[in-house]
Chain A
Amino acid sequence: MELLSNLADGASIALSWSAIFYCFIGVSLGMVVGVLPGIGPLPAIAMLLPLTFYIEPSEAIIMLAGIYYGGQYGGSTASILLNLPGTPAAAVTCLEGYPMARNGRASVALFMTAIASLVGSMVGIVLVAAFAPVLARFALEFGAAEYFSLMVFALFAAAAVGGSDMLKSLSMVVIGLILGIVGQDVTSGIFRFTFGLPAVADGLNIVAVAMGVFGVSEIISTIAMRSHSTSFERFTFSTMLPTREEWRRSVPAMGRGSAIGAVAGILPGAGAAMASFMAYAVELRLSRVPQLFGKGRIEGLTAPESANNATAQAAFIPTLTLGVPGDAVMAVMIGALMIHGITPGPTFIAENPTMFWGLVVSFFVGNLLLVLLNIPFVGIWTRLLQVPYNALFPIILVLVSIGVYSINSSVVDIYLVLGFGIFGLIMARLGFPPAPLVLAFILSPMMEENFRRALLLSRGDFSTFVTSPISAAFLGLCIVGLLVMVLSRKM
């Protein structure tokens, strides 16, 4: 019952007109920057940071948070319509969302994405509200060995994401791992494979890789083959509703996705991308018709969408209660609080109860606003597909270039996105799936860093990976999964 009174306290902050106003500004701005491919919430938040000096800290953080989770809603739009993942997590959305759009079901995909996002967010919020302080302890249980084994497990799942040909998926995993080595080595500080280019000293830009192998390669391929075969639909309100059968498959998928996303959100650094991939892999494994994945299967869309939104909400747990930002956006959020003299950390909730609970209630408000904002747009977005591609594609390529440039203000990234577009095209023609490459690329630097750190800490003793129960459990799961695969193939 303490929870209810806390929430009532929070409501008194978050339901004031000014708080709702700032929440609305935040989520709509987040949605807009999310829709534009490549332009993430980071520049928007950094730009609004000075503005927050002049408003109430609670309202400032409500607005900045809105941009963060609002971006998760917008991010899927370009993935579904154009196969353009603006964030690494949205790469998973492409896998089923884009085929759906090409089958003339873009409006269903967009509608269900909004619903799945709402479900995921709600699960994440409830988790934050009920268990934030307890869960923060859980994050501290994860050291170098645990993170490494978790990532091995995620990679194992990635190989499953690619489709039927395991060998081709695995080779893309290996390429992804190798590409991830580029940049400064954390353990020794040495630059690897940077060819003297300062622009890649911190590694290849993940958004450039993801947008290249998915969207740009698709655009090149469409232009080259003159095969833009998206079937257009006449949009009415009823066309965006899924069939009863699709609802039946989507609901449990959203539940599973939300659970995976919520766990990933608690671990700083694991991130929305890993959660989305895992959620997708789980649906694929559980499905009785895995051969239909990749052709517009709705549970393969809704599960990862729920997952990345749950992650976005749950990520506030380590950020606020440990002072550990999961990504660059959360780092700015912590900065904004510090300017107001509020320090996220173990005593944050106890010292700032109204702010914390106000923020939690504003999550509810913001997510409802986002769904209300998104659904009317479904019709407009769908009509975008009717624009002739010789007019649409140049515009998109310009937007992609601006988006990828905006991340690091680096021209090299524009060449990278083009290069990876061509690379992705060749791979697609040869039947190699891009998704495992993207996940392996994300995980590669983290995996190596944690592997070497674990061995540094254990003075080179490899048993550190099995003496920790959490680490041993993840490695055990991989072995069990491997056995199941080998045995089921023999039968």
Chain B
Amino acid sequence: MTIGSMLGDIVNSFIKKPVTEKYPFVRSETPEDFRGKVVFDAETCTGCGLCVKDCPSKALELFTVDKANKKFVMLYRVDRCTYCAQCEVSCRSKSISLSDDQWELAATSLKPFEVYYGREEDVKYVLDQAAQTAAGASEETEKE
């Protein structure tokens, strides 16, 4: 039976550096296999849609611009993602990977949470299409 059996630990702690990390002033290294933001490569995508089907949080949406020429655009909703990497496992063409250095994803508006991946002209095409549909829908509601 003793009293103060952790006094040694306390004394040791006085002469040691604090274990807390100084984030955000010092950004610690993340391990190689860290699961951060989803990165999509539209060049290799075959458009099978398994990633969209398997995503547990409905964070992915795939737009087919031109199926014959394999032109696809991916809308990735960062705020919905749970970083489980199932999309990476499901992808047969290895077009999806999870970044190990992009993990500071907090934002003060919704805009940065909608990330479009794909060729520039394809993304523009998808955005224009979406704008047209939205305009059409609002006209219809005005008519009603």
Task: Note whether A and B form a binding pair.
Answer: no
A interface with B by C-beta (< 8 Å): none
Interface on B for A, CB 8 Å cutoff?
Answer: none
